[in-house]
Copies of this chain bind each other. A is one copy, B any other.
Amino acid sequence: MLASTTHVIRELFVTERTADAEVDVMRAAAARDVPVVVVDERVARSLGDTVHPQGMVAVVDLPRTRLDDVVRRHPRLVVVLVDAADPGNAGSVIRTADAAGADAVVFTRGSTDPYAGKCVRATAGSLFHLPVVTGVNAVTSLELLREAGLRVLATTTAGEPLNEMDHALREPTAWVFGNEAHGLPADITQVADREVSVPIHGRAESLNLAAAAAVCLYASARAQRK
């Protein structure tokens, strides 16, 4: 992870044990002039917020991105989270978006904070791989993405089946996912080009947000890369 994220790392705090174990990370830090401070286990614990800290804490710049900047780069696959509440889910969506080759993830105002510890950990480094936009108005963002030529697909429980959309998925797409319990509000679905549903074949009422995002984003990746 360090190699791809050094541009935002300002300082590293490590325990002696971790410094000995993570030789490659220590070398990379030295090569990039990142200051390294060796601390004892007690200090490392107080710096992190997990029960089992990994013995390494980095001070990083928050990599802020504006939606304008995202749009200017002609994105083909964008994820928009509206009122997403669970930081673990949100982090998993960022990781999956990265894996599926998406260009950006947008957190509209009212969504969970992508820089909360639980979310950062769930991204497994992907928070630093792709642009994350925060604090924007949902309707305005979707309008901007539409004007930029992306099809805005809102995931709902009563939309067109995902399986029948291969042709549409070849186009540049912005996927919109709503709150884990309440889904998307009407003003959002109204501004979308289409409503789409992941088909439910069994007796589950719905998919978990992160699972639904994985299915939709990989359907797009597949259609766009054929």
Contacts and interface: CB of A to CB of B under 8 A. Distances in A.
Given A211-B211, A225-B201, A206 B92 contact: no
Contacts of A97: 202
Given A198-B218, A210-B208, A214-B211, A203 B4 contact: yes
Interface in A174-226: 198-208, 210-215, 218, 221-222, 225
A101 interface: yes
A204 B124 contact: yes
A122 interface: yes
Given A101-B202, A214-B214, A218-B198, A208 B129 contact: no
A88 interface: yes
A95 to B, nearest CB: 6
Contacts of A92: 208, 210-211
Given A202-B100, A203-B129, A124 B208 contact: yes
Interface of A: 4, 88, 92, 95-102, 122, 124-126, 129-130, 163, 198-208, 210-215, 218, 221-222, 225
Contacts of A130: 202-203
Contact of A203 (B126, B206, B218): B126
A24 B15 CA distance: 56
Contacts of A129: 202-204
A212 to B, nearest CB: 8
Contacts of A102: 202
A206 B123 CA distance: 10
B125 A205 contact: yes
A201 B100 contact: yes
B163 A202 contact: no
